[in-house]
Structure 1
Amino acid sequence: MSIAVLGAGAFGSALAVALATRGPVTLWGRATGWGRENPRLPGVTLPDAVTVTGDLPQAARADTLLLALPAQKLGAFLADHAAHLDGKTLVSTAKGIDLTRLTGPSRLIASACPAATIAVLTGPSFAADIARGLPTALTLACADPGRGKALQHALSTPVLRLYRSSDVTGAELGGALKNVIAIAAGTVIGAGLGDSARAAIITRGFAEMTRLSARLGARPETLTGLSGLGDLMLTCSSVQSRNFRFGHAIGSGTDFDSGTTVEGAATARAVTRLAAELDEELPIAAMVARLAQGAVSVENAMEHLMNRPLKEE
């Protein structure tokens, strides 16, 4: 099985490094003039088994294409390049909900590339850890059990362990929604509200994640696995998480690099609109959407959440 990673950001480059221990990998990106060291992944040199190219048709000749692209850019990429992608096995690593269509990556791919086999690779992971060869476990979700098993074996390495699932919807929703809660957790810590408050946000945020995911057809057990609870724990507790750092900047009133992709900010807006359509109440996600847009202060957001009607857990 030949493999290419489309998207030469930190995560795409890290996946290429990890998969190169199994054999040749092609890494495609629009700007790849940095040679063997991606500035987004400092201290990591791409092994010789990784071929870096800016030629998409060349990269797309591989049997399996990992789409390591931001969630809000995936739709446009698919629209531009569907002719090169359709009929392939396409594995999305995006963690978000498209703002325009209010859907996850798998449906965007299915719409643009109806003949493709679709899978989702997600779970608790930082690019730097994967690139350094640190032990990492992820979820690989594919509705086709046979293809899912083949991908599981092809993409696993001695330090990158993949667990298989057929619940594509649950896997990608877990990865998307946890980013929203990570912003909330970062805000709590940045504002100096303490670890007890963070624990409450994580717990009640997880309840929102599971409630919305169930409405959209996900299996509850998927959300308690790596792609849901596992990823939530990681992103809500580490400054390596861009979503957590973004929330921390909001809470502390400090500047944040506007050039850094924060998937949870756009996803919070998409989730709020989706919840309204479903008549589903998601107070934390709704407040994160407002905080990310500067529409409410941290003090007012916390006051609103703490003064909601008392109820059973």
Structure 2
Amino acid sequence: MSQPVEPGLFRRKWALYLSLIRWNRPAGWLLLLWPTLSALWVAADGFPGWHLLTVFTLGTFLMRSAGCCINDVADRDFDRHVKRTAGRPVTTGAVSVKEALLLGALLALLAFALVLTTNAATVGWSFGALAVTLVYPYAKRLFSMPQAVLGVAFSFGIPMAFSAVQGGESAGLFSGPTSVPPLVWALVLGNLLWVLAYDTEYAMVDRDDDLLIGMKTSAITLGRLDVPVILLCYLLFISIWAVALLQYVRGAIFYVAIVLAFAQVAWHYALIRSRSREGCFKAFRLNHWLGFVLFAGLAATYALA
């Protein structure tokens, strides 16, 4: 006879899966969303249409969630030694490795299904995005600045947005850097610097634990240079985007957003200068507001043009 299903089992499993993909912590996928939507607006010279907006918003959420599943499986033996991550579902065994991988694969397939509704060039870019997503969790064992790998992963939405708007079928399935305009690479460079800034703040939270278990992070590599380098990365990010977009975004609103972004950098300095665990974690969690301000400035400028 088959065993009866335990009452409430589905509800508990569902709650664990939501925890696994960080459902209650939207900051992570918002950090990925705002630069992607900014690129989408610039590429489309304004509102890109509901189809592409839906594809990139849902796709961003799904791929970030899939990345969480992969990351937690890869780090399960390390996470139990880190105070902040010891209670994660895969680490505690509440969700099995097989379950986490299956969920991650399902989410990635759903994201890929969305990309298939765009064009061949964007599909080609999506393979690169998936490859970097798979590589990143293991970069922390090999590279002294794994945050740079995350920066690459979190920047793929920018060329994909331009490709989806401007790339036709003639670009080919595996079209490369020449299929997008040079502006894309300025936006990617700026975004990569932003990721280095906020993920170093994140790494500062776990620095003591990571030193004990031998994990490599930018916070450990930089040592006492962590705060100055974070500030430099923030300033370069905002400056690169401001200069790169000068000829594309005409209007005072975007530059008001730039000023507000610089003001947020000052706020971040106030939070991280003491290098306290609480201050660094708060700075990381609030980073998505910086991305939102820049996107809102862009969107408002186009709307009022």
Bin the TM-score by the shorter chain. Answer: under 0.3
Query: Max radius of gyration: which structure?
Result: 2
Taking structure 1 as the reference length, the TM-score comes to 0.27
Taking structure 2 as the reference length, the TM-score comes to 0.28
Query: Which structure shows the bigger proportion of residues in helix conformation?
Result: 2
